[in-house]
Amino acid sequence: MAEAAATLPPIEELFNPHSREYMNDPVPQCLELARRGPIVWYEPWQAWIVTRMPDIMACWKTEPLSSDFYDWEFAPARPPEDEWSNFERAMIGHSLLADHDHHRLVRRVTAPAFSRNVVDAIQRKIEPDVKRLFDELGTPDSFDYIEEIASKIPFISITRMVGIPEKYWPDIKQVILTFTETWNPTISDEQRESARQDSNRAIDILKEVIAERRQAPVQDDFLSTLLKIEAENEGFEEGDVITLILALIGAGADTTLVAQQWSVYALLKNPDQIQKALASPDAFSNAFSEINRWGVSSKMGFARYAPRDMEFMGQQLRKGVMVLMMPHLKDHDPEYYANPETMDVERVFDPDVMFGYGPRYCIGAALAKRQLYLTISELFKRFPNITLDGEPERDENDHNAIVFKRLQLKTNVA
């Protein structure tokens, strides 16, 4: 076996998420990487890649590795506390990069803010805005879904759902485009620093909004809810509020924009699945996991870092080396899913790991899926005979996902 492995070409010759071949069809490259074993060294990223779900789930659950970007061996030096900008104050020691105990505190005290009742209330809050968006669209023969609908959803999320007043939109919208780049270790230092400065400016705005909200605290949005939690729970601080709001902005923008594109594309490529997928919010929640599996839009996965020299999965890791969890490698593996090339929105996911697993499971997953369900449902209510207007061209410039340059749709309105 060792001799056979030694004769294989280097994995970087067969797996390149930034290549045009991967963008057009990632499945062969994902399967090739997964076949190399449970943990694979990837030279271009100077990283180990964990390829198999039991190992990924165990890592998510027990957290032997660090999720702190500053623990990466190639990260800029962690600044001393007296030199922290807004970005460091919000991100070091608070909920995204927190130590395990503080992270668990944040999840425990904020769980009520993401309950089913709250999600239902948020739906009622943003539904009129989604309908208004389609009213403004009208009934054109053809339109670009990304430009006319998907790109406008972040505004609805941030102003209505999160609770940032519309007057701040021009100043805060840039961070919507770049927030997830602040901890992406595969982009340039210059690009990451630019994203960090966008976040600094956004945090200035958030501090101003928080100060205003403390003077008028009774409002039906997430910011007001988080400030109430802050007042009632020792150890939950303004930095946690800011970090969670930034996370909601990131999830409601970059991630949701990708999800919007792929949900519409996947359903239109599999029209027999539309009615089942949109039967209810719960049906769509499962359907979205299948859309995500079928589409394989991910390029990178989840980054972790060795907090010290250590043994991990039989490998000796040097302190600071990056370890990538890539759950999407399984998505078209016939040993993991029966008939993986077929999209079945009633496919059973046990467990469903699309939004993570264990202590770092995405706390806003239900909220993200409900917002998506609202928009996609409204699309098919308005245009029940809608179809793709040609195969969309894919955009190779996105740092984290396979996306489309445009998603042109034909309404087929009689």
Domain map of the chain by residue range? Answer: 85-300+346-410
Asked whether 403 and 297 are in contact (CB, 8 A), the reply is yes
**What is the per-residue pLDDT for 3?**
42
Q: Which pLDDT band, with edges at 50, 70 and 90, does 1 fall under?
A: very low
**What is the per-residue pLDDT for 2?**
41
Residue whose token pair is 């909200």: 213
Helix (H) or strand (E) holding 170: helix 169-178
Show the tokens assigned to 269.
């490529």
Could you tell me how many residues make up the chain?
414
Q: Which pLDDT band, with edges at 50, 70 and 90, does 286 fall under?
A: very high
- Poorest-pLDDT segment among 15-29, 100-114, 261-275, 326-340: 100-114
Q: Which pLDDT band, with edges at 50, 70 and 90, does 97 fall under?
A: low
The mean pLDDT value for 111-133 works out to 83
Which one of 153-157, 182-186, 360-364 scores highest in mean pLDDT?
153-157
Asked whether 158 and 252 are in contact (CB, 8 A), the reply is yes
Top-confidence residue, 202 or 382: 382
Q: What value does the mean pLDDT of the chain take?
A: 86
Top-confidence residue, 194 or 276: 276
Which one of 83-92, 108-117, 146-155 scores highest in mean pLDDT?
146-155
Q: What is the pTM of this model?
A: 0.87
Return the CATH fold of 85-300+346-410. Answer: Cytochrome p450 (1.10.630)
Top-confidence residue, 258 or 398: 258
Distance from C-alpha of 386 to C-alpha of 269, rounded to nearest angstrom: 11
**What is the per-residue pLDDT for 194?**
85
The mean pLDDT value for 277-288 works out to 94
Query: Who's near 145: CB < 8 A, 6+ residues apart?
Result: 260, 261, 264, 379, 407, 408, 409
Residue whose token pair is 């076996």: 1
Distance from C-alpha of 21 to C-alpha of 25, rounded to nearest angstrom: 6
**What is the per-residue pLDDT for 92?**
67
Q: Could you report the per-residue pLDDT of 354-409, keeping only the tens digit for each?
A: 777 776 677 777 777 888 899 999 999 999 999 999 999 998 887 778 999 999 99
Distance from C-alpha of 82 to C-alpha of 390, rounded to nearest angstrom: 55
Q: Which pLDDT band, with edges at 50, 70 and 90, does 4 fall under?
A: very low
